[in-house]
Amino acid sequence: QVQLVESGGGSVQTGGSLRLSCAASGYIFSTYCMGWFRQAPGKEREGVAHINTSGATNYADSVKGRLTISRDSAKGTLYLQMNSLKPEDTAMYYCAAKRTPYCLSFAPTDYSYWGQGTQVTVSS
């Protein structure tokens, strides 16, 4: 079955960096849109970035210029490079897979498979 396993979360100070990874298995990684989402306590899950099968990316306005999504189809792994982190980036981060080559939206309901999440905490 499809499995997504995130890693790389942790605690950093404002301005710090982290690199999240998401190892995918159980399906042909290169054929699905992949996305990163986050959810802070008391808030709804929101889309952060997504990447389609041809490598085209899209970002939430709040993270543009600071976060970079990428994928390595040979390794079946999705990445999120996080730079210039802010306290408002504190959240549980999830990777997700959508069963189409193109992403088109950040609606969580459009994504069929989810990882268990990795916590990112940014202190001021």
Q: What's the pLDDT band for 9 if we cut at 50, 70, 90? A: very high
pLDDT given at position 26: 86
pLDDT digit string, tens, across residues 31-72: 999 999 999 999 999 999 999 999 999 999 999 999 999 999
pLDDT given at position 34: 97
Averaged pLDDT of the chain = 96
Which residues 6+ apart lie within 8 Å of 85 measured at CB? Answer: 12, 14, 15, 16, 17, 18, 66, 120, 122
Residue 29 has pLDDT above 90, yes or no: no
